[in-house]
Structure 1
Amino acid sequence: MYFYDTIVIPLLHRMSNLEELRLYFNCSREESFVDGNDLKTNILIHLPRLTTFKFNICSFINHYNQSDLLSNEDIRNTFRDFSNNEIISCVDYFPDENKGQCHIYSYPFTLISYERITNNFPCGLFPYVRKVSLFDEQPFQHEFFIRIQKSFPFIKKLTVTNWKAQNHKQHEKSKDDNRDLSLIHYQHLTSLFLTEVHDDYIEEFLLDTKTALPFNLTLYVDYYSIQRVTHHFKRIETRINCSKINCVYLDNVHHFSKDFRNYFLSTEYM
């Protein structure tokens, strides 16, 4: 929904008898995020009979002013008068995109999808969520993925978008070298999208010292990236997780090496 100001607000003003409202949308604005003050001024004071209000709103600002950035604390302060729900907020700025993002929602979170999670993710438990996407212009460390798995224990579809190399990349010689890292188990994962990532994140999911993937996983990945990460499909540390993959989607690749076919013996590839 990119017409919050011109369509949604006027529509709600015509619903003065509304008692329950669930409002879920994304919107793009020129100058300001959707925050608590915005919801009170534009919606709540026009709905005097409203008793239940739940929402999940992500607003974006393009070409934000570097000298006048709102913090997460600033956004939280706009919800001081909201007593019926626990309100969660998360504010991020992306210099490369020249875009600001503010995600506000009432908790507990009941949707099945949680999009564009960044390093500022406030954690929590989201048992209903099955689809998650991660995006940031700062690197995701292994500890971040631990937090994601704990917050979304029933995740089925995961998309990662991040082109920045990990800062604390492990240099494994044996499994004993990684005893300080927690192995992450994605027990319900069925689809993993790693087409717009630095090689470090492909390694993050394929190394058996970092991640335990489930069987019959569908992986979306660039051929040359996975070729580098698996050392031309001969790397021992990535063989276990690769053996669990049921299908690999590799764009614009029509000829596969013998080493690739031997590495993914039970896998369909497209």
Structure 2
Amino acid sequence: MNMKCECIHLNDLPDEILLIILKKLINTEVLYSLIGVNKRLNKIVYDSNFTSRVALIKYSSDDTIHPLPWQILDRFCLQILPEIHHKIEWLDIESSSIEHVLLSRNYSNLSGLGLYNLGIEEIKQLLTDKSLLNDIVKSQIVSLAIGISACKIPYVTSDIIKHLFTQIFIMFTDLQCLTFVPYSTWHNQMIFDISSSTVFSSNLLELHVKLHNFTDCLYLLDGRFSQLCTLDVNIFMINSSHSVINNQEKLPNLKCFSLECHLVGDVYSELIVSLLQRMPNLEQLNLYFLIFGRKTFIEGNNLKDIINYMPQLNKFMFNIRSNVSTENQTNLPSNEDIQYTFRDYKNQIISSIDYFPKIQDVECHIYSHPYVWKDYKNVTNSFSGGLFKCVREVLLFDEHPFEHEFFLLISQSFPFLKKISIVNETKQKNQRSRKSNSDDENFSIIEYPHLIVLDLYEAHNDYVKQFLIDTKTCLPNDVYLCINHKRLKKITNNFKRYETRINCSKIRYPVD
């Protein structure tokens, strides 16, 4: 029987189906591709689903932000924005496009603005050039996100940051939500100091910021942001040498608090607990700590010193690593002891303990399940697997060898990995590279389909081979390999080794 095959075109689909499909695409691409095609598509893409937030930026595979190609940006400014400018509620713009976009139209309903890859000159122009943001737009903006480029500003003095913060609150008089952080793909070394008393707002409800030290965090909570409900803070390191201000006032308006930092010594007990006990009406708490220099691990009983003061708390997520020196230690708790301290917790808590005798260190890792963070540090051979869909970066660390089946487990447990770092100088015991049996998946070829960075600077040569030999691993195209170039040439026989030729053709080589 002959069957006639009919082609279904996009315009043949009913509006409801077409809308479902287009919602799964990037708004900018929908607007650029379909506006002006015909009246029916115009009507659909003029819907608020596509016009309320317009991101005139481009993300690369490593999540860095870039400007749109000029031919696309020009069409937006000349043809598309004139049609939808009154519908736009939020604009995301890259620094090189700010003047071109903001001066092209009057955005009468704009309430949110995201500005990315900014340098000092762009920020100064934004805060001083009255033509870029008229007084109406300034009073309209209630949500502002500013991403500072670490490349453009390798070092910023605290005076500059204080001035910028002061000017932001002067300019945007009704600002309710502010995100102000440096931006970098993998490493973020710029740290901001906003302790000046000139930084204040009685309207701000939500703040996401990276601070210089713990004292700055206390300044933020000294009453200058009296209506603050949500505070998300990243502090590179807190230690007992930091001077602190004497502030014990309760924070009744604070509902959500997130803190990410390195803790040195016993500052958890000395500083963190007292801060968190000032938040009696907290409903959501997120803690991400790397702790060094304590004599004991952080466990369930320590966390109760916090949550017992928060009767309204209904969501508590934490990811805490405690590193304790084994020198002069004789009675550290077991993993069963740690797990028992969480017996009264409502949600599932995962714990693990790893000993590293060479460096005389033991690490206790506790986290709430499900795991919601983008990175997972110090994955060892004791890792039992699971599914971690949020994780994009892992650090594999151990004093025992990582065998092929371990890397298979990593690829299965972290399906969306973008970066893998390995710190392990121990030689592999089993270096077979082909399947010993067609049914033995332990030696199947491992794939990391989303990988873009592979850091092997501190890895034994066996792990370089693990990733470069094509019967062990299949790398995606354009992976950046962090490794000494001379070492790489030796392992690959000056890139002539047969087993490594395929994966070597897919990597970007380092320049020493």
Question: Normalised by the size of structure 2, how large is the TM-score?
Answer: 0.46
Residues 1:44 and 2:307 aligned together: yes
CA distance in 2, matches of 1:100, 1:142: 25
Which residue number corresponds to residue 72 of structure 1? 335
Q: 2:327, 2:296 → 1: CA distance?
A: 9
CA distance in 1, matches of 2:328, 2:459: 28
How far has the Cα of 1:227 moved from its partner? Answer: 2.7
Measure, in 1, the Cα distance between the counterparts of 2:502 and 2:314. 53
The 5 A counterparts of 1:91-110 are 91-110=353-372
SS at structure 2 position matched to 1:238: helix
- Aligned residue in 2 for 1:155: 417
In the other structure, the counterpart of 1:204 is: 466
1:229 aligns to 2:500 (yes or no): no
Decide which structure has the larger Cα Rg and report it: 2
Whole-Å separation in 2 of the counterparts to 1:46 and 1:231: 62
1:244 and 1:7 map into 2 onto residues whose CA distance is 48
Deviation at 1:26, TM superposition (A): 1.2
Tell me how far 1:185 sits from its aligned partner: 0.6
Tell me if the contact between 2:348 and 2:368 (Cα under 8 Å) persists in the aligned partners.
Answer: yes
Partner of 2:383: 121
Cα distance in structure 1, aligned partners of 2:290 and 2:435:
45
Residue of structure 2 equivalent to 1:59: 322
Question: Among the aligned pairs, what percent are the same residue?
Answer: 47
Contact 1:220 1:250 in 2 (8 A): no
Rounded Cα–Cα distance in structure 2 between residues aligned with 1:176 and 1:7: 54
Deviations 1:40-83 (A, max 9, x none): 2x212222222221111111112444532332222111111112
Greater share of helix: 2
The answer to whether the Cα contact below 8 Å between 1:31 and 1:64 also exists between their aligned partners in 2 is: no
1:192 deviates by 0.4
CA distance in structure 2 between the aligned counterparts of 1:178 and 1:236, rounded to whole angstroms = 23
- Is contact 2:435–2:444 with CA below 8 Å preserved after alignment? no
- Which is worse superposed, 127-136 or 45-54? 45-54
| 1:8 and 2:272 aligned | yes
Q: One-letter code of the match for 1:188?
A: H
Question: Partner of 1:140: helix, strand, or coil?
Answer: coil
Q: Deviations over 1:111-149 (max 9, x none)?
A: 111111111113111111111111111111111111111
Once the two structures are TM-superposed, the CA of residue 8 in structure 1 deviates from its matched residue by: 1.3
Bigger drift between 186-195 and 113-122 goes to 113-122
**Count of residues in Structure 1 that have an aligned counterpart in Structure 2:** 245
Structure 2 distance, partners of 1:129, 1:94, is 25
| Cα 1:176–1:131 shift into 2, 3 Å | closer
Aligned to 1:255: none
Task: Kindly indicate whether the alpha-carbon contact (under 8 Å) linking 1:221 and 1:250 is maintained by their aligned counterparts in 2.
Answer: no
Deviation at 1:226, TM superposition (A): 1.9
For the structure 1 residues 178 and 190, does the alpha-carbon distance in structure 2 shift closer, same or farther, using more than 3 Å as the test? Answer: farther
Rounded Cα–Cα distance in structure 2 between residues aligned with 1:90 and 1:228 = 38
User: In the alignment, what sits opposite 2:288?
Assistant: 24
1:91–1:176 Cα change, 3 Å: closer
**Pairwise CA distance, 1:178:** 7.5
Distance 1:195 1:250 in 2: 13
CA distance in 1 between counterparts of 2:393 and 2:281 reads 34
Q: Does 1:248 align with 2:512?
A: no
| Residue ranges of structure 1 left out of the alignment (5+ in a row) | 252-270
Specify the SS of the correspondent of 2:421: strand
Matched, 1:134 2:396: yes
Aligned partners of 1:141 and 1:214: how far apart in 2? 21
Q: Of the two structures, which has the highest relative contact order with CA contacts closer than 8 Å and spacing of 6 or more?
A: 1
Distance 1:71 1:169 in 2: 33
In 2, distance between residues paired with 1:120 and 1:90? Answer: 8
Aligned-pair RMSD on alpha carbons? 1.7
Corresponding position: 1:193 with 2:487: no
After TM superposition, give the deviation of residue 176 of structure 1 in Å. Answer: 6.5
Deviating more after overlay: 43-52 vs 10-19? 43-52
Question: Partner of 1:43: helix, strand, or coil?
Answer: helix
2 CA distance for matches of 1:186 and 1:98? Answer: 33
Residues 178 and 209 of structure 1 are in contact (CA less than 8 Å); yes or no, is this contact kept in structure 2?
no
